[in-house]
Structure 1
Amino acid sequence: MSLPLRALLWDMDGTLVDSEPVHRRSFVDAARSHGLALPEDFHDGLIGKSEDAIHAILVAEHGLDMPFAAWSESRFAAYLARIEEVQPFAIATDLWARAEAAGLDQAIVSNSPAGIVRANLTRLGLAPGSVVTVSRNDVARGKPHPDPYLLGLSRLGVPATAAAVIEDSGAGLAAAQAAGIAAYMMPWFEGEKGNWQPFGALQKHLPHA
């Protein structure tokens, strides 16, 4: 950041909410309902990938025979059935509240489809429409491309140099870097050291409320 911090752009799954286990379980639910038998570790390689990219893998490598729209609807129904299992990450929601009190603009920029983003917002106690969001439905290319974060900046009306991204995946980190935004990674990020900072380092940049 070269300007005073004015905005935070948050990833959702695995960053604001502990939803990856629920994605994994609901993904298995949806796959089984369509007769797919996937390896137990299949979902581990999907972290950060968009729904359309996952659908393409299922079609090409595992015999899924249904269009993306139908698969996405099935996936959303399976996820929604387990939505009560999704829990916020306290360290993230605490920082969200501090940033809000300090007057920072905030947005959620997710690779998930709009329905899952809305469901997770509700679990966070945030009314859909009360927060600036970018979902996979809003862009032609999802993460690791910069498009979602560039749209988030545009919707907030702030330059990349006055914003910070909070992420948990390699795809999200690549998207932030491609958009020219400083990236701060959650403590459980296991990527190699590079052009990013740990989540805790972000706190020193927050203005006082």
Structure 2
Amino acid sequence: MLKALIFDMDGTLVHSDPVHLEAFAEVLRPEGVEINEEIYRSTIIGRTNEAIFASLLPHLPVEKHEAYADEKEATFRRMASDLKPLEGLLDLLAWAETRGIRIALVTNAPRLNADHMLEALGLARRFEVEITIEEVERGKPDPLPYLTALERLGIGADQAIAFEDSPSGMRAAKAAGLFSFGVLTGLSADEMREIGADGAILTFRDPALWEVLEHRIGR
């Protein structure tokens, strides 16, 4: 029986990747590092800031990585002033709430970003459980963030569905044992299925999603 929906944030609740790409490009330009869509997809999307800056600036100490990460996130929050929920998201949340299906957030983003984005999207206080990068010892692709969310919800993996847009996020959700939809804001359906997605959707209005939801609630 379906008891919870668990969402990633960037690229899942909202198509925010173009803003993140622009923020990384602005912050790293003084270091002579070019950030384009290919680099963003291969090196950045879904990874922790720790891993991202270690790979892009391997010649710098950890302290500089942390400083650049803070600057990038502040830049993102400055740029992310006109965010809109992904199509169908608000209807899905309302559908879940009227049926007593709980909703949770699991993101590699820092708390400041999560609060900023949820407020901008009109989703503040909509998620019963919110797991940000500060709350776990290991971020995605480790399953720990999802396992932590399941523990706080008090349910098993077979009682929830996850939504992810990145390879690291999908690997984390599947390693935690969750039935998972890949949201196609950055990857193709084939790419999502290759990394383990049980289904792939363009928006939250996709009939493939609703077929699974109706089946899982016993209709």
Structure 1 position 203 matched with structure 2 position 210: yes
Instruction: Tell me the equivalent position of 1:51.
Output: 49
8 Å Cα contact 1:147/1:179 also seen in 2: yes
Instruction: Tell me the equivalent position of 1:11.
Output: 8
Structure 1 position 193 matched with structure 2 position 189: no
- Report the TM-score when normalising by structure 2: 0.83
8 Å Cα contact 2:57/2:65 also seen in 1: no
8 Å Cα contact 1:133/1:152 also seen in 2: yes
Instruction: Tell me the equivalent position of 1:119.
Output: 116
Match among 144, 147, 155 for residue 147 of structure 1: 144
8 Å Cα contact 2:162/2:173 also seen in 1: yes
Between Structure 1 and Structure 2, how many residues are aligned? Answer: 202
> Mapping of 1:1-209 within 5 angstroms?
4-32=1-29, 34-40=30-36, 41-45=38-42, 46-60=44-58, 63-64=59-60, 66-127=63-124, 131-188=128-185, 189-190=187-188, 191=191, 193=193, 195=196, 196-199=198-201, 200=206, 201-204=208-211, 205-206=213-214, 207=217
Task: List gaps (5 residues or longer) in structure 1.
Answer: none
**Corresponding residue SS for 1:14:** coil
Deviation at 1:154, TM superposition (A): 1.1
Deviation at 1:90, TM superposition (A): 1.8
- Report the TM-score when normalising by structure 1: 0.86
8 Å Cα contact 2:82/2:120 also seen in 1: no
Identical pairs, percent: 34
Deviation at 1:49, TM superposition (A): 1.1
